[in-house]
A = this chain, B = another copy of it.
Amino acid sequence: MTHHIRVLDTASASGPQSARSRIPGVPQAGKPVERLIRAGQRLFHQGDAASHLFELRAGILRQTRTLESGERQVIGFHFPGDIVGFAPDGIHRDDCTAITDGRAIVHHADARTLADRSPELQPRLWAAAMQEIGRAQDQLVMLGRRSASAKVEAFVQYLIERAGNWRDGQVSVDIPMSRYDIADFLGVAVETVSRSFTDLRQAGVIEMTDPHRLTIRHPAALANLR
């Protein structure tokens, strides 16, 4: 059905960060630590205890869930500014992997413990948790769209809202994730994603110099597509 194993995953598993190792440089308790993140590295695994909370400062993360059937669903992407690692019942139900190099503040505690321990963090923790709820719900709306091209359009809009660079009335954005990631994010086939991008390009809505760079000259056109 869907794609079982991705290059990034295997690359990371065989790379300098062994798959099941603790995040290096993270103390078992105490003060938060800033960590560098390398593309392909996994921050936490499906099944791990949710023992760390990450304040992402740079880079893009991908959170995925793999079903017993082998199907993969991308639960979400994380961008700088996000707080990552919320989990009900103290157990991660997803993998979280870096798509690009990055940097994060790592707290050795789950959200609730951290809120108890550091009251000054509470406002930001609550805001982040609410944002997480809101983003998951927005993604539901994205997935609920009936047609595949509407989903891809909504994804483009989402990317722009989260990471778009505005300049001279036009907006461009990097697309660090693969077409497979986008496909598993939207619940459509990778070929459909590719075709939808082509359609959007030929319709004059978007421009793409290469598959991972997108520009919109007339953003109003996209707004109409909502």
Q: How far is the CA of A130 from the CA of B130 in the complex (A)?
A: 10
Count of chain copies: 2
Give Cα distance in the complex from A130 to B113, angstroms. 13
A112-B126, A122-B115, A127-B88 are contacts. A65–B146 as well, Cβ < 8 Å? Answer: no
- CB-based nearest B residue for A122: B115
Bound-state Cα–Cα, A159 to B73, Å: 21
Is A47 part of the contact surface with B, judged by Cβ < 8 Å? no
Q: How many whole Å from A151's CB to the nearest CB in chain B?
A: 10
A68 to chain B, nearest CB (A): 6
> For A131, what are the chain B residues with a Cβ–Cβ distance below 8 Å?
88
Evaluate whether A134 and B87 lie within 8 angstroms (CB atoms) in the complex, with A75-B140, A111-B126 already known.
yes
Say yes or no: is A19 at the interface (Cβ < 8 Å to chain B). Answer: no
Query: Smallest CB–CB gap between A204 and chain B, Å?
Result: 21
What is the CA–CA distance of A115 and B129 in the complex, to the nearest angstrom? 13
Give residues in A with beta carbon < 8 Å to B. 1-2, 65, 67-69, 71, 73, 75-76, 86-89, 93-94, 111-112, 115-116, 122-123, 126-127, 129-134, 136-137, 139-141, 143-146, 184, 187, 226
6 new A-B contacts at CB < 8 Å, known A73-B140, A112-B127, A144-B184: A71-B144, A94-B137, A111-B126, A136-B136, A136-B140, A144-B187
Q: Sorted from nearest, which 7 A-B pairs have the closest CB atoms?
A: A136-B136, A88-B134, A144-B187, A88-B130, A143-B143, A73-B144, A112-B126
Query: Can you report 20 residue pairs joining A to B where beta carbons are below 8 Å apart?
Result: A71-B146, A73-B144, A75-B137, A75-B140, A76-B140, A87-B130, A87-B134, A88-B131, A93-B134, A112-B126, A115-B126, A126-B129, A129-B133, A133-B133, A133-B136, A136-B137, A136-B140, A140-B140, A143-B143, A143-B187
